[in-house]
Each structure stands twice: as C-alpha cells, then as structure tokens.
C-alpha cells in the first residue's frame, strides 16, 4: 500500500504539467513568472560583493555566482543549505555535531562554517566562540539576491573570508511593495508558515519577514557509532526567524532574530551523546550613506551580534561503557558570546573608469565562560570536560584600499591591500590583484591573485576538554593564496558560459593533529590538541552554464572537479568530493503553471580513517522537483518533491574519522505549499 501511494505521487509529477496545459488562462503571479524578466538582465545583474561597488558579473575582478529570488522560488528550496549546494565548487554537509558545513573548493573541512564569510547585506555574521554562522538565521522570503565569491576575500572583508564570501542582499519596501503569506506542510509532519511584507513611502521604507519551521524529524539511522552500537534518532531541525528593515533617506537599520532547535548525533559520534542544540541569536546594524561631492561618497556602518547556546551533551566523555556501568551523569552545556564592530568606508571616483575604495574597521569579540554541567544543575562536569571557565575578549582593527581601473577599454586592473592588527597574534597584511581582459563584448578573461586569512577563534585557543580536545593559545592565523583563471562567455543574449581554473595553497591550517600526552593536563589518555599544520595544495576546474533555450525554458548546469594533497606528506586530501555536478531547469506552461527540477550528483570521496585504513564513501544522486499552479493572480499552489529517487546517501565522518560515514540526509519527501500575495 505504501509503494502504491508513492507511485501515485510520482505519477502526479509526470502528469501535472499536462493538466496545466489544458487549464484555463489567467493573469500570472509575477514573482513566479520565468518569462517576465529578461535573461540578459539576469545574466548581467549588477553585483557589489567583488569591489564594494556595482559591477556586472563578467567585469567583476572575482569568480562570482549569483542566485536570485526567482531562482530560489523555482527550485522549491526550503533552506540556504539546499540553495548553496547548487553552486559549483561548493559541497554542503551535515556534521554529527549538528552543523550545516559549507565547504568551498575542498579546503580542510571542520565542524563549523568558519572558512567562509557570510554577509547579511554588509553585516559580517559569525559567532565569537567558533567563528561559525547559522544558515537558519535568514528568512528565505526576505532574500533578493545571493552573491557568492569562490576564492579569497580578506582584502575587503577581513577574517573568515578565507575560501569564499556569501553575501545575502535582502528586499526593502520598494522591492516588495506588498506582502505574501505562505504555508508548507508535508513529510515528517512538517509545518512551515511564513510571511513577508514591505512598503515604500517617499523617503521611508519598511520590510519585515518571518518563518517558522516545525518537523518531527527524519529517521537518522546509525549503522555504527564509536562504541560499535547501532540505532536511530529522529533528526529534527526546527527553527523560527524574523527580520525587519527600516530606512529613511540615507539612514537604514536592520534587526534580525532566530532560534534553532536542532537534534545532533553527538558531541562525539555516539548514540549516548545525542541531544538537542538550541541557539538563540540576535543581530542588528545601522548604516548611513552620504555623498559630499560628485566624485566622493562615504558610509558609516555599525553592527552587533549576540549568540546564546544550550546543548544536551549526554555522557562526556561520551562512552557507552560509562552509561552501562552507571558512572557519571548526563550533562549539558551553556554558552553566550557577542561581537560588535564599526566601519567607515569612502569611495573616490577619479573617472568613469577608475575608482578607489578604502575603509577603516574596528571589531571586538567577547565570550562568557563555556561550561558543561550535570544536566539540570549548576554543578560543573566532574570529568573536566568544560571548554573554558573564564570569559575571553579580543579585538582587531584594520584598514584597506582597493583601486580598480579600465585601461583603454581593453583591460581592467584591480589592486588592493589590507592591514590588520589583532590583539592576540599581532599584524597581518593581505594583498590582491588581477586583470580582466575585454577581448570582445561577449568574452572576458580573468586572471586573479588573492590572499586571505582566518583568525583562530576562542574555542580553538582555549578549550580544555579533558580526554576530548585541547586548545592552543599560540595558534597562528591560517593563510590561503589562490590564483584564478576565468572566462565569461556571453554566447548570446540568453545564454552564458563561465569556466574557471584555480590553484590554491594554504599554510598554518588549524587542525586537531597535536597530541597532549596522558597525565600532562589532567587527561587520562592521549588527547588531540589544535595546532597549525603545513597546509594543502588544491587545484580544480569549474564550469557553469546559465540561460534559456526557449522563452519559457530556463536552465542552469554546472560541474566542478577538485584534487589536492597535504603538503607535509603529499597524500591526497581525504574525503573531498572530486566531482560534483548540478542541473536544473524550469518550464512555463501557458500562463498558469511551471515545472522545475534540480538534479545533483556528488562523486565518491576517499580517505584514510584515524587508524590509517582506507575507506571510500559511495557517490550519490539527488533529484528534487516542484510543480507550481496559479489559479488566480495572487494565489500559487505548489507540490514539492525532495530526493525523489529515495537515495540512501552518506557523508564521510572526517573530523574524528573513527567511523567511516554518517547519514547525509532524509529519504523521499513531499510537501504541499500555498502562497498568497496581498
């Protein structure tokens, strides 16, 4: 009976477009109409992430991909996790620790999102303890555009812009000019209401949005944990978020709040250390732009973040034997941290072809003690597993300059430099430079060089988890050097091809490869410690198509190939996917419906486990599809299917590498969605 129900739903995906064809015509909902916006406009969208000024993608001195709100609508995405996974060179995974980890171009993976920088408009988003950002923070219906740089971005953006920059531009009142309410429900007892509203009144604009996600969770089947046990948990990812943006003339304020209640496999991957991680986060920023002359413009920008965390950590050290022998107690952990910054930026326009941008930034970071307690009490863990009992503070200030110019309508030149002084490690200078060759109106070639750095975070420096992990206050910042060769080819006004080859070297990568011998710091066994390693060498090729074959048929297709070695021993980098490809298209049927589908293939990932045995994680294929039907101008009804082939896929456990793999995501799922404009 169950298989019959699944087959019926699959048949709906096949037959629904035919039903739409014979439906009566009506005015089309503008936000879902793939024929209303010029493909040429979409392919040549002005972006700001590469130079902090408006530029066409093919002219920008960076390797950039763009996702618009139209793209998000048609792919039926319910999270930034899904959206970012469609970008070439990006691999998104869920770690056992309960984080969605964004890996760009194969650089050393960690639990946390601290090797790329997330910008919410111009606001750098990351917590002070881990340097990580949270993909659940931003309401999807508030997103106007996502601009992604693959490659170093520290010259303009400082720490964490290491392997890339993800800039999310949100909608203002003028963009929205009205509102939308939505409701999504389906598999795993999921319920997801949402709303967005915006309006502009002369010099004043307001926009506000919110999402609420509640789900029972998908069955997370563990074939073997580190205690050699098997079992299953319901992997929940419940959250709610909200954002409000208010602007008056050149003054703008943004406020956002989010709460995440996410299950996790464990503090280490064992079934006795499962439990919830709860995160509450607040972000706010205020900006003022002014232009004293025709050639000069200035902006002042201030921001603040506060993150509060609670997690159930189970038995720590989380060994099944402790629970079996009745030793110890179930534990939980609490944390709180904050970040504040202020930036002054100026731009001078020498001519239409030459611009200079520069800025000064001050940023301070703070964390409260990060303490593990016997659950439900104020008694610290008797195992000495708390990361740190003291508050920590740090600060950094920096200045940057970047000059870009077009010489004789033939070549664009960019040169930039950033100086940073950090309280903990001292001074750091990172440069960038490059050329964009305008060989014709259709073809642009890019040759780019850039450096970036990532400062060690509080956890990496100060954690004191006996028998689990030790920090190292003497850590140096990580450094990356990247050389890019790119080609942007506008095949015609409707189709675009981008090809990029990159070569990257990293130094002082922060790894868990150090060892604190048993008894040296209260530990009873040899315990890993953070230390700087020699780094890696990585090279790769990225190909990206985007456009339309017919007026009502839009598509994207991309693929990336990556290979690399560890510099110390020339061994291949473990468990990075050598090959990833994505294909998606949207077909509009008359005026009432659209069929969209996305397909992703992730190749095999091979590496060595902690005991030095070789292991290969199998490749997998994912297929998602969305059918939209608009019975009225203001109403859209949608059927969304995820993982339609019901792939049972896994990802490597590359952090501790004591077990080979963990579940990668849920099986087949279906959702019904209704959106109403007002």
pLDDT of residue 524 exceeding 70, the answer is yes
What pLDDT, on a 0 to 100 scale, did the predictor assign at position 317?
A: 60
Q: How far apart are CA 64 and CA 544, in angstroms?
A: 11
Query: H or E segment at 72?
Result: helix 69-75
Convert the pLDDT of each residue in 295-315 to its tens digit. 999 999 999 999 999 998 887
**How does pLDDT run across 149-170, given as a tens digit for each residue?**
999 999 999 999 999 999 999 9
Q: Check if the beta carbon of residue 580 is closer than 8 Å to that of residue 599.
A: no
In the chain the domains, ranked by start, together with CATH numbers, are 2-400+456-476+506-538+565-677 (2.40.170)
**12 SS3 class:** helix
Left (φ > 0), alpha (ψ -120 to 50) or beta: where does 494 sit?
Answer: alpha
Q: If pLDDT is split at 50, 70 and 90, which confidence band does 320 have?
A: low
Q: What is the per-residue pLDDT for 12? A: 40
Residue 272: what pLDDT?
A: 87
Angstrom distance (rounded) from CA 341 to CA 303: 5
Instruction: Please state, in angstroms and rounded to a whole number, the distance separating the CA atoms of residues 260 and 639.
Output: 26
What does the pLDDT look like over 443-462, one tens digit per residue?
999 999 999 999 999 999 99
3-state DSSP percent of the chain in helix, strand and coil, to 5 = 10, 55, 35
What tokens appear for 597 in the block?
């589908």
pLDDT at 587 over 60: yes
What is the overall mean pLDDT for the chain? 89
Mean pLDDT score, 365-375: 93
- Are 477 and 467 in contact by the 8 Å Cβ rule? The answer is no
* pLDDT bucket at 29, cuts 50 / 70 / 90: very low
Q: Quickly list DSSP for 547-612.
A: EEEETTEEEEEEEEEEEEEETTT-PBPTT--SEEEEEEEEEEETTTEEEEEEEEEE--EEEE-TTS
**pLDDT for the residue numbered 15:** 41
- Least confident range from 2-11, 17-26, 125-134, 659-668: namely 17-26
pLDDT at 611: 83
pLDDT at 441 over 80: yes
What is the rounded average pLDDT of the residues 55-69?
91
Residue matched to tokens 């509102």: 179
């Amino acid at each position: 009976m169950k298989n019959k129900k699944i087959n019926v739903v699959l048949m709906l995906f096949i037959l629904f477009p035919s039903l739409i064809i014979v439906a009566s015509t009506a005015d089309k909902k503008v936000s879902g109409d793939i024929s209303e916006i010029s493909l040429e406009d979409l392919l040549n969208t002005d972006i700001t992430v590469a130079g902090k000024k408006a530029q066409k993608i093919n002219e920008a001195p960076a390797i950039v991909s763009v996702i618009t709100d139209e793209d998000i609508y048609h792919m039926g995405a319910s999270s930034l996790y899904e959206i970012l996974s469609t970008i070439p060179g990006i691999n998104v995974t869920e770690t056992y620790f309960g984080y969605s980890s964004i890996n760009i171009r194969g650089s050393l993976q960690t639990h946390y999102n601290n090797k790329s920088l997330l910008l919410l408009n111009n606001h750098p988003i990351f917590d002070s303890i881990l340097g990580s950002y949270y993909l659940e923070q931003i309401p999807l219906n508030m997103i106007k555009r996502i601009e992604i740089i693959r490659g170093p971005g520290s010259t303009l953006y400082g720490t964490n812009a290491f392997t890339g920059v993800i800039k999310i531009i949100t909608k203002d009142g003028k963009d929205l000019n009205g509102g939308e309410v939505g409701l999504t429900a389906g598999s795993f007892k999921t319920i997801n209401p949402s709303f967005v509203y915006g309006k502009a009144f002369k010099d004043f604009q307001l926009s506000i949005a919110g999402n609420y996600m509640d789900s029972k969770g998908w069955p997370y089947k563990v074939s073997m944990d580190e205690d050699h046990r098997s079992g299953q948990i319901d992997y929940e990812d419940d959250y709610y978020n909200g954002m409000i943006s208010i602007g008056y003339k050149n003054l703008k304020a943004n406020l956002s709040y989010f709460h995440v209640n996410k299950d996790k496999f464990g503090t280490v991957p064992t079934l006795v250390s499962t439990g919830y991680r709860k995160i509450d986060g607040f972000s706010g920023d205020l900006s003022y732009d002014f232009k004293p002359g025709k050639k000069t413009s200035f902006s002042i920008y201030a921001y603040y973040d506060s993150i509060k965390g609670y997690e159930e950590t189970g038995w720590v050290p989380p060994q099944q034997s402790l629970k079996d022998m009745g030793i110890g107690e179930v534990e939980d952990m609490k944390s709180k941290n904050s970040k504040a910054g202020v930036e002054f930026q100026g731009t001078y326009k020498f001519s239409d072809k030459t611009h200079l941008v520069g800025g000064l930034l001050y940023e301070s970071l703070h964390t409260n003690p990060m303490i593990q307690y016997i659950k439900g009490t104020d008694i610290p863990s008797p195992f000495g597993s708390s990361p740190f009992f003291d508050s920590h503070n740090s600060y950094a200030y920096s200045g940057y300059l970047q000059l870009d110019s077009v010489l004789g309508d033939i070549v664009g030149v960019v040169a930039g430099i950033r100086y940073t002084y950090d309280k903990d490690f001292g001074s750091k200078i990172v440069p960038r430079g490059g050329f964009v060759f305008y060989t014709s109106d259709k073809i642009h070639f890019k040759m780019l060089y850039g450096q970036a750095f990532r400062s060690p975070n509080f956890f990496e420096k100060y954690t004191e988890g006996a028998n689990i992990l030790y920090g190292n206050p003497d850590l140096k910042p990580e450094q990356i050097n990247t050389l890019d060769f790119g080609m942007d080819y506008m095949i015609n006004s409707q189709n675009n091809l981008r090809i990029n080859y990159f070569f990257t070297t990293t130094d002082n990568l922060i790894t868990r490869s150090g060892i604190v011998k048993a008894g040296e710091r209260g530990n009873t066994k040899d315990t890993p410690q953070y230390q700087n390693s020699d780094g890696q060498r990585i090279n790769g090729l990225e190909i990206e198509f985007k456009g339309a074959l017919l007026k009502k048929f839009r598509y994207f297709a991309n693929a990336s190939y990556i290979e690399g070695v560890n510099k110390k021993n020339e061994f291949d980098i473990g468990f990075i996917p050598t090959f990833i490809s994505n294909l998606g298209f949207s077909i509009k049927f008359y005026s009432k419906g659209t069929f969209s589908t996305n397909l992703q293939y992730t190749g095999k990932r091979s590496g060595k486990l902690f005991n030095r045995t070789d292991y290969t994680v199998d490749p997998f294929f994912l297929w998602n599809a969305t059918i939209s039907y608009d019975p009225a101008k203001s109403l859209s009804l949608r059927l969304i299917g995820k993982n339609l082939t019901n792939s049972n896929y896994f990802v490597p456990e590359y952090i501790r590498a004591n077990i080979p793999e963990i579940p990668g995501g849920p099986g087949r799922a279906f959702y019904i969605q209704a959106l109403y404009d007002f």
